[in-house]
A and B are shown apart, each in its own frame.
Chain A
């Protein structure tokens, strides 16, 4: 049955419309979580407000349980879901670059757009920076192409990498999330006063 796009239930145009609807919904909930404000996001890195960690982990666990159960019910064919191919080292480097930008600018790409939508000037500047950065990346891409494509592991999932049953990985990630959540709450109590 699903993924709908792969089964041709809708085409490219419709998928763009759906992307717009989903993206708007995503932005709405980012704003509702307070992520339209750079202060809230930067607080994550100073450990007095762990909202980013909590919201992201909640999203991961919800989506993971969702696809697991849909797959189990036979409504979703997980083998057809596109996964971004893993390139371990280049992606770690990319993650660090994004992280530095996150701390310095106070936003990640998605939240900067949410912030821009509510009229914040810093959000506008950040979104402009994304555009400029993308342009620079595209221009230097020929020189760094070899590195970007190195370490290719293909479309892999954790159960494949660790050779564990799918259900076990789901269970362990849920436990890690719950433990992380509790730990985050403790961290907030410890550092919260410095806000």
Chain B
């Protein structure tokens, strides 16, 4: 059969089948060996695309979004005392062995930002790419979500923003700080875990089960 005798469609079909056959041997997902592109990582850090702000995160939790996994990197006792609703506890030491999916969006947080940033790097080295950290960690969560402050001489826009933040704060069992009102509580008590947890979130006592299991 001469090649010229074939129609264009038939030739294309042959090309497709050839490429499809070769694809049998393909490994489109990265294997266990990971090459870290340092320039690429530097780009990510520079552009700050690896951050989720506490308010963004709070919004996701309120909406009941389940397209990400929130990971608390602190110790078990810290986690038991308080954690951001819907978070699951994986300590930094346990992180390398923890069975995350590569396609999952993973949001990390620790007390401040350092452990989370280090864990972020660990995850990168294991080939997880959709990893984010909560900006400011749990401290940022306290400042922005649980105890938002109304700046002195706030403008109308700032006031409106504070009202929204205050509603969010009460939702998570926090206490908004209005101007002149109660100064920052000395110890900034964290809400007790019995405090309102958004519907859909599992009680913090039991570790959160992954929502989208079973396929």
Residues of A within 8 A of B (CB): 1, 6-9, 58, 61, 65, 67-69, 71-72, 74, 77-80, 83, 85-86, 152-156, 160-161, 165-168, 170-171, 173-175, 177-178, 181
Contacts of A78 in B (CB 8 A): 28-29
Chain B window 158-180, contacts with chain A (Cβ cutoff 8 Å), 1 for yes, 0 for no: 00000000000000000000000
User: Is there contact, CB below 8 Å, between A175 and B17?
Assistant: yes
User: Is there contact, CB below 8 Å, between B215 and A154?
Assistant: yes
**B2 on the interface (CB 8 Å rule)?**
no
**One of B20, B37, B128, B211 near A171 (C-beta < 8 A):** B20
Q: Which of B23, B43, B215 has the most CB of A within 10 A?
A: B23
User: Is there contact, CB below 8 Å, between B20 and A174?
Assistant: yes
The prevalent SS among residues of A at the interface is helix
**B38 on the interface (CB 8 Å rule)?**
no
User: Is there contact, CB below 8 Å, between A7 and B130?
Assistant: no
- A74 CB to nearest chain B CB (Å): 7
CA A117 – CA B25 in complex, angstroms? 43
CA A174 – CA B26 in complex, angstroms? 14
Contacts of B67 in A (CB 8 A): 85, 154-155
User: Is there contact, CB below 8 Å, between B24 and A74?
Assistant: no
A8-B49, A65-B20, A177-B16 as given contacts; A155 in contact with B26, CB under 8 Å = no
**B19 on the interface (CB 8 Å rule)?**
yes
Contacts of B20 in A (CB 8 A): 61, 65, 170-171, 173-175
What range describes how many residues of B lie at the interface? 20 to 34
User: Is there contact, CB below 8 Å, between A166 and B29?
Assistant: yes
Chain B window 174-215, contacts with chain A (Cβ cutoff 8 Å), 1 for yes, 0 for no: 000000000000000000000000000000000000011011
**B155 on the interface (CB 8 Å rule)?**
no
**B129 on the interface (CB 8 Å rule)?**
yes
Chain B window 116-154, contacts with chain A (Cβ cutoff 8 Å), 1 for yes, 0 for no: 000000000000111000000000000000000000000
- List 7 interface pairs A-B (beta carbons < 8 Å), by A numbering: A6-B49, A69-B19, A74-B30, A77-B30, A153-B215, A170-B20, A178-B13
**B77 on the interface (CB 8 Å rule)?**
no
Contacts of A72 in B (CB 8 A): 23, 26-28
User: Is there contact, CB below 8 Å, between A79 and B103?
Assistant: yes
CA A175 – CA B19 in complex, angstroms? 11
CA A112 – CA B102 in complex, angstroms? 37
CA A7 – CA B43 in complex, angstroms? 8
User: Is there contact, CB below 8 Å, between B129 and A77?
Assistant: yes
User: Is there contact, CB below 8 Å, between B103 and A68?
Assistant: no
Contacts of B211 in A (CB 8 A): 152
- A176 CB to nearest chain B CB (Å): 10
CA A72 – CA B19 in complex, angstroms? 13
- A165 CB to nearest chain B CB (Å): 8
User: Is there contact, CB below 8 Å, between A65 and B19?
Assistant: yes
CA A155 – CA B67 in complex, angstroms? 8
